[in-house]
Amino acid sequence: MNDKEIELINGEMVGVFLFIIALLVSLLILYNEKLIKSNKPYFFNNSESLNISLINRTLFVILGIFFVYSSIERKKLNNSNSNLQIIASLLTLSASLIILYIIIKSYNKETN
């Protein structure tokens, strides 16, 4: 392995760690929504929850972009046929962009 590949692996490790944190935040937001629907004391009101969701989904998109970049760079370094890895990263990024779009629409509806 060369230094560039080690840097990419280190970056992917950080990315996975951030992804896990973002998933935990998503879980907290869902639990908060459940509390609201159950008429129990909750952590965040709807506006705060939407703000957190917007930031969280933006993080997912940034991570998606990074993983697409990383997949492309690793393919260049390995000269391998890892097109499926790139396709998987692009699909994940696409899903993240769609969810971010939905959150932005909800955010605009809430603030207007």
Angle between helices 46-78 and 83-111 (to 10 degrees): 160
CB neighbour list of residue 12: distance below 8 Å, 6 or more residues apart: 67, 70
Please, is 96 exposed, middle or buried when counting C-beta atoms within 10 Å of its C-beta (0-12, 13-18, 19+)?
buried
> Domain count of the chain?
1
Domain range for residue 13? 3-111
Per-residue pLDDT tens over the stretch 49-91: 999 999 999 999 999 999 999 999 988 888 666 788 899 999 9
User: Per-residue pLDDT for 1 more than 70?
Assistant: no
What's 82's DSSP letter? -
Which amino acid belongs to residue 77? L
Residue with tokens 């760690």: 17
Give the predicted TM-score (pTM) of the model: 0.87
Q: What would the pLDDT profile of 12-56 be if each residue is shown by its tens digit?
A: 999 999 999 999 999 999 999 999 999 999 999 988 999 999 999
Report which secondary-structure segment, H or E, holds 87: helix 83-111
